[in-house]
């Protein structure tokens, strides 16, 4: 039986409940929510005056009402030490989501720490250290002393290159400007750590180096552009599932034709809108576009996996040949067009051969992108790409190739245009220069496997679930961290210096001392020696920006669990302790570098970081962000405006689109076209893997699940639906493998093996499987090869393997539905 | 709001006339719901026991529009043709669900070919053969299902719900 909460009544928000601004801390879209809190012994009443919603709650409310919240939007949490009811519901007045809540964001409340209602009791509440053969609670002072001594000893022995770091670089939960600055100041200013990586890739690098090298920042448009575009080109992005309310609130109105009024108001004479989707797999996004726009206005280009580059070069060539380029824009705002046209020349027929598309599909899509409209007006085309491209074959060139098409057609900095990364997390990057890291950056996971480094600081990362070559990584990591565990266990309790010496001695024998800062016990945490409990969004004030650079402040609405602290303050306390320990070691010059971490609050870190260092940061303070509410402003801030006759604090003025003046982010203000020749499957070993194994093991996200399920793994609604990761398979392939719905299968190749449950999917192409990525009960990364591009960008998507049945569907799967996920009537 | 109304209309149209769904003029259940009143301040609401139909009114895979626990809460009775979770009747195949989507309150349309309820608002789908499990969608609840009882005469009574209905903070207003 499907999971049901058996809740048939919820407390009513009283009229005097406290209201807090909340930006959803999950995906990049950053939907606006409001958190309402009030004392646990009270509730409102149904009559309008008796409740915050000012509505008669004794009546059934209509569709899209603001006067309803689901059980998942409710909880009881601690606020300043007292139990309070909390409702976190979508904000109708937020321009991002207009009151929509996704299946992830609408569970923020339920996924909060609540002792009263037993939700998220997995949260770390106390620092923990390896003691008596298991993780045991201890004080902050004790844990930080151990971290500082272990770290300082390694640095004294190996230099700063012996300190390895895995750290978030984004916004939202496990990130934000406060926390990227806190960690950044520690590792890039107090130290110059080089062996550092980001949460989802094995090095410290950009996912989109190419567009930046061309002078085009990747978040250059605004969400409204999706409402204004004539054509939306979606590449390797399954937006309905992964940027849900961006798609529903801004793409769908255009596809449905309901944004026509806005178009008429802002842009005269616009034709009907259409969508081109480049994805080897038929996603629910493709289906929804067809439902809304009609099949004749959606082109699903189901290319051979990893061949995007050839398609883009063919578009570029064909558009240039047809003269459908924006010549004035190219002349005024770009360099290198002719050179790129010559270098990237790819005929439609050549691209058809490589991509598996028909020449007609390529020509038609090029027409939709660039053929002038009736009357000769330039077509407004928005290009949106995500992990299908980013984690795909030949990242750097492929990214460059799509920016070439956008630049050639004058679609950057203009209404209805943009060439943008769709994004996973929100953004929130504020750090001192990372120039010392170098390019290409160190392949950190490979170095760890090879036995390099002595201490590893991990911030909200779980390599065990989210890296490539994950099985081999885990094998090596366990071996190395076990050496240190055994050494620590051999020291009599209370002898800290002996413990530090034992750790150093184990490190000399190939061991690794691991410190894990996180909100929950992670899988890599099982191998760690210290856990430091962090606060998450809403348990601290947190700033981030979304995919259109919209910056908001989530106001603290509840207490962190137990002794948990914001990451920025944990970084500061590590710095304080390193300063103390280095001084004890007689290294005053080193100790002095750890000054400047006397922050008491996250706001201190914000003012030290973003406010002082980021472009336009001087205009941005918490007080002003509170006034700007859930609509915030779009970065960069360019000034302040008076609140007018209403009085109150000044408002922050932002930037709706980047490059609206045709000036780009390079020395001469021009964007540069890139030479992007096709070179087949680029990463080492991929072509051999493709030839050797039967199935493409494509992989990605699912609607229900946020990131690696770090919270969802304790949410019954999600684990009821997905007890194991699904693998979508064509029914004929299933039949040949002797599989029924829900059977457990092993996916394997020369890199490793993992498991999933078979989900029959008639729209799946033969021999093309799609597996849920980064799920705790079956890690797809186990079968992803270590092959990367020249800048150490992983290639998760092009993975091939074989599949065999492990067992009939286990009991936990018996109640599941395996019907098609595509809406139709 | 324009879009919202439009969608409701679309949804309603689909529900009434969509593939395999009940046609206009389909039997409306002949019911006189008893007065539904919430016990003031009670922790658990008291559900009415309402006769929704008789098993003879049901044909396999043809939805019967009903309402429970009151006329403002539309729902559906289904005889699915094979034994399912929560199913009642001699064949264990009679189930009832709300037909208002838990995501944003749009009316669901029944798709007889795969026995699912589908939302025209944001594409959510619920499996009537699996206790209303959300196959895909944006609702954070599986679909509220009726607790049903069939008496010796074949009359089908609804006597409870297993999730909070959309648009009300108490299942019984």
Residues of A in Cβ contact (< 8 Å) with B133: 2, 720-721, 815-817
Model confidence pLDDT, tens digit, residues A244-257: 999 999 999 999 98
Band (pLDDT 50/70/90 cuts) for residue B14 is: very low
**Active site residue: B122, B151, B167, B170, which one?**
B122
Cα→Cα distances B112→A403, B98, B109, Å: 46, 16, 10
**Active site residue: B103, B108, B134, B158, which one?**
B103
Is A673 in a helix, a strand, or coil? coil
Nearest residue of A to residue B71, measured between CA atoms: A60
Take residue A794 and report the two structure tokens written for it: 């992983």
Model confidence pLDDT, tens digit, residues A436-466: 999 999 999 999 999 999 999 999 999 999 9
Model confidence pLDDT, tens digit, residues B122-162: 999 999 999 999 999 999 999 999 999 999 999 999 999 99
Take residue A567 and report the two structure tokens written for it: 């990451």
Residues 6+ apart with CB under 8 A from A562: A124, A125, A126, A533
B133 and A817 within 8 Å at the Cβ level: the answer is yes
Q: Give the best residue of B43, B63, B97, B123 to mutate against chain A (max A CB count within 10 A).
A: B123
Band (pLDDT 50/70/90 cuts) for residue A679 is: very high
Take residue A703 and report the two structure tokens written for it: 């609607």
Please check whether residue A64 touches B, CB under 8 A. yes
- pLDDT of res. B27: 41
Mean pLDDT of B85-97: 96
- Parallel/antiparallel/unpaired status of strands A695-700 and A800-807: antiparallel
- pLDDT of res. B30: 44
Mean pLDDT of A483-490: 96
- pLDDT of res. B10: 41
Q: What is the pTM of this model?
A: 0.95
Band (pLDDT 50/70/90 cuts) for residue A636 is: very high
Mean pLDDT of A371-379: 90
| A272 or A503: which leads in pLDDT | A503
CA A105, CA B139: separation in Å to the nearest integer? 11
* Of A663, A679, A693, A666, residue with least CA distance to A784: A693
Mean pLDDT of A662-681: 97
For residue A486, is pLDDT > 70? yes
* Of B66, B71, B69, residue with least CA distance to B79: B66
- pLDDT of res. B34: 55
DSSP-derived secondary structure letter, A247: I
* Of A70, A73, A43, A48, residue with least CA distance to A58: A48
CA A155, CA A504: separation in Å to the nearest integer? 11
Chain Cα centroid distance, residue A254: 25
For residue A743, is pLDDT > 70? yes
Model confidence pLDDT, tens digit, residues A48-71: 999 999 999 999 999 999 999 999
DSSP H helices in A122-176 = 140-158
Residues 6+ apart with CB under 8 A from A333: A659, A662, A663, A664, A669, A670, A671
CA A382, CA A251: separation in Å to the nearest integer? 11
CA A222, CA A683: separation in Å to the nearest integer? 33
Model confidence pLDDT, tens digit, residues A813-822: 999 999 999 9
Buried b (16+ CB within 10 A) or exposed e, A499-537: bbebbbebbeeebbbbbbbbbbbbbbbebbbbbbbbbbb
Name the residue facing B123 among A5, A100, A284 (closest C-beta): A284
Name the residue facing A2 among B7, B72, B131 (closest C-beta): B131
B163 and A823 within 8 Å at the Cβ level: the answer is no
DSSP A13-29: PPTT-EEEEEE-SSBTT
Band (pLDDT 50/70/90 cuts) for residue A259 is: confident
For residue B24, is pLDDT > 80? no
For residue B31, is pLDDT > 50? no
Residues of A in Cβ contact (< 8 Å) with B170: 8-10
A65 and B119 within 8 Å at the Cβ level: the answer is no
Model confidence pLDDT, tens digit, residues A387-432: 999 999 999 999 999 999 999 999 999 999 999 999 999 999 999 9
Please check whether residue A222 touches B, CB under 8 A. no
B136 and A823 within 8 Å at the Cβ level: the answer is yes
Least confident of A170-174, A270-274, A289-293, A596-600: A270-274
- pLDDT of res. A264: 72
- pLDDT of res. B21: 34
CA A432, CA A181: separation in Å to the nearest integer? 8
Cα→Cα distances B28→A220, B59, B128, B156, Å: 54, 14, 20, 14
- pLDDT of res. B134: 98
Helix count and strand count (H, E) for chain B? 1, 10
Mean pLDDT of A547-567: 98
Mean pLDDT of A15-44: 98
User: How far does A220 lie from chain B, in Å, by closest CA?
Assistant: 27
* B6 catalytically annotated: no
- pLDDT of res. A409: 98
Cα→Cα distances A524→A417, A460, A512, A637, B63, Å: 42, 10, 13, 39, 50
- pLDDT of res. B44: 66
Mean pLDDT of A112-135: 96
Question: Which residues make beta-bridge pairs with A74?
Answer: A87
A100 and B104 within 8 Å at the Cβ level: the answer is yes
* B14 catalytically annotated: no
CA atoms within 13 A on the CB side of A547: 32
Residues of A in Cβ contact (< 8 Å) with B123: 240, 284, 287-288, 291, 823
Residues of A in Cβ contact (< 8 Å) with B146: none
CA A798, CA A618: separation in Å to the nearest integer? 44
């Amino acid at each position: 039986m499907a999971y049901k909460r058996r809740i048939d009544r919820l407390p009513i928000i009283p009229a005097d409940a406290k209201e807090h601004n909340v930006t959803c801390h999950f995906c990049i879209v950053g939907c606006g929510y409001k958190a309402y809190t009030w004392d646990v012994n009270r509730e409102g009443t149904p009559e309008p005056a008796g409740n915050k919603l000012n509505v008669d709650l004794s009546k059934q409310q209509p569709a899209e009402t603001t006067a309803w919240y689901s059980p998942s939007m409710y909880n009881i949490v601690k606020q300043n030490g007292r139990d309070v009811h909390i409702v976190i519901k979508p904000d109708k007045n937020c321009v991002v989501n207009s009151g929509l809540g996704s299946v992830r964001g609408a569970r923020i409340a339920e996924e909060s720490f609540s002792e009263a209602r037993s939700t998220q009791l997995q949260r770390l509440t106390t620092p923990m250290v390896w003691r008596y053969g298991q993780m045991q609670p201890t004080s902050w002072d004790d844990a930080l002393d151990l971290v500082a001594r272990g770290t300082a000893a390694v640095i004294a022995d190996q230099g700063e290159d012996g300190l390895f770091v895995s750290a978030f670089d984004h916004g939202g939960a496990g990130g934000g400007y406060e926390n990227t600055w806190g960690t950044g100041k520690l590792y890039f200013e107090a130290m110059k750590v080089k062996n550092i990586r980001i949460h989802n890739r094995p090095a410290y690098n950009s996912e989109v180096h190419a567009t930046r090298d061309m002078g085009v920042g990747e978040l250059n448009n605004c969400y409204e552009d999706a409402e204004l575009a004539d054509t939306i080109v979606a590449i390797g992005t399954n937006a309905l599932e992964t940027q849900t309310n961006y798609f529903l609130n801004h793409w769908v109105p255009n596809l449905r034709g309901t944004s026509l009024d806005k178009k008429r108001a802002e842009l005269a004479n616009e034709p009907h809108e259409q969508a081109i989707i480049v994805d080897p797999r038929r996603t629910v996004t493709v289906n929804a576009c067809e439902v809304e726009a009609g099949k004749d206005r959606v082109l699903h280009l189901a290319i051979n996996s990893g061949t995007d580059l050839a398609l883009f070069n063919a578009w570029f060539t064909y558009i240039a040949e047809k003269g459908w380029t924006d010549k004035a824009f190219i002349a005024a705002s770009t360099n290198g067009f002719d050179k790129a046209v010559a270098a990237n020349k790819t005929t439609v027929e050549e691209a058809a051969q490589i991509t598996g598309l028909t020449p007609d599909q390529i020509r038609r899509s090029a027409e939709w992108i660039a053929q002038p409209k009736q009357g000769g007006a330039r077509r407004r085309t928005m290009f949106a790409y995500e992990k299908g491209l980013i984690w795909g074959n030949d990242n750097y060139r492929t990214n460059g190739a799509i920016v070439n098409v956008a630049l050639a057609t004058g679609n950057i900095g203009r209404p209805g245009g943009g060439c943008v990364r769709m994004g996973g997390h929100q953004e929130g990057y504020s750090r001192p220069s990372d120039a010392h890291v170098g390019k290409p950056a160190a392949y950190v996971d490979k170095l760890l496997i090879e036995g390099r480094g002595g201490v590893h600081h991990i911030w909200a990362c779980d390599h065990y679930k989210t890296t490539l070559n994950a099985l081999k990584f885990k094998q090596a990591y366990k071996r190395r961290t076990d050496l240190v565990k055994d050494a620590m266990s051999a020291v009599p309790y209370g002898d800290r210096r002996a413990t530090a010496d034992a750790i150093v001695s184990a490190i000399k024998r190939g061991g690794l001392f691991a410190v894990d800062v996180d909100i929950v016990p992670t899988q890599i945490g099982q191998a760690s020696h210290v856990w430091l409990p962090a606060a998450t969004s809403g348990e601290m004030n947190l700033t981030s920006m979304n995919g259109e650079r919209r910056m908001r402040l989530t106001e603290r609405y509840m207490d962190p669990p137990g002794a948990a602290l914001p990451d920025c303050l944990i970084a500061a306390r590590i710095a304080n302790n390193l300063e103390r320990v280095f001084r004890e070691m007689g290294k005053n010059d080193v100790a002095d570098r750890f000054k400047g971490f006397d922050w008491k609050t996250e706001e201190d870190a914000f003012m030290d970081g973003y406010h002082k260092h980021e472009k336009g940061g001087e205009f941005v303070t918490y007080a002003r962000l509170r006034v700007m509410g859930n609509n915030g402003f779009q970065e960069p801030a360019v000034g302040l405006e008076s609140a007018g006759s209403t009085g109150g604090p000044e408002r922050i003025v932002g930037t709706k689109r980047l490059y609206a003046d045709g000036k780009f982010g390079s020395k001469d203000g021009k964007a540069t076209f890139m030479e992007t020749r096709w070179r087949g499957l680029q990463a080492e070993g991929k072509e051999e893997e493709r030839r050797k194994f039967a199935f493409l093991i494509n992989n990605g996200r699912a609607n229900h699940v946020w990131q690696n399920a770090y919270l969802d793994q304790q949410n019954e609604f999600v684990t009821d639906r997905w007890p194991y990761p699904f693998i979508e398979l064509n029914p004929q392939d299933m039949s040949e493998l002797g599989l029924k719905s829900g059977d457990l299968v092993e996916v394997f190749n020369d890199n490793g093996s993992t498991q999933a449950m078979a989900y029959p999917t008639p729209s799946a192409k033969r021999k093309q499987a799609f597996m849920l990525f980064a799920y705790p009960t079956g890690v797809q990364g186990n079968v992803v090869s270590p092959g990367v591009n020249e800048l150490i960008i992983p290639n998760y998507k092009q993975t091939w393997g074989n599949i065999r049945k492990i067992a009939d569907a286990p009991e936990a799967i018996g109640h599941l539905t395996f019907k098609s996920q595509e809406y139709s009537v | 709001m324009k879009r919202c109304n439009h969608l409701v209309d679309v949804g309603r149209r689909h529900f009434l006339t969509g593939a395999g769904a009940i046609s206009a003029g389909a039997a409306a259940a002949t019911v006189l719901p008893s007065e539904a009143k919430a016990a003031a301040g009670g922790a658990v609401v008291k559900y009415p026991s309402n006769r929704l139909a008789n098993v003879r009114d049901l044909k396999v895979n043809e939805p019967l529009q009903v309402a429970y626990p009151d006329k403002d809460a539309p729902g559906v009775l289904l005889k699915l043709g094979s034994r399912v979770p929560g199913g009642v009747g001699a064949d264990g195949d009679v189930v009832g669900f709300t037909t208002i989507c838990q995501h944003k309150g749009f009316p669901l349309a029944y798709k007889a070919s795969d026995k699912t309820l589908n939302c025209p608002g944001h594409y959510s789908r619920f499996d009537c053969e699996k206790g209303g499990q959300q196959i895909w969608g944006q609702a954070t609840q599986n679909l509220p299902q009726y607790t049903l009882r069939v008496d010796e005469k074949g009359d089908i009574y609804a006597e409870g719900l297993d999730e909070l209905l959309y648009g009300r903070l108490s299942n019984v207003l």
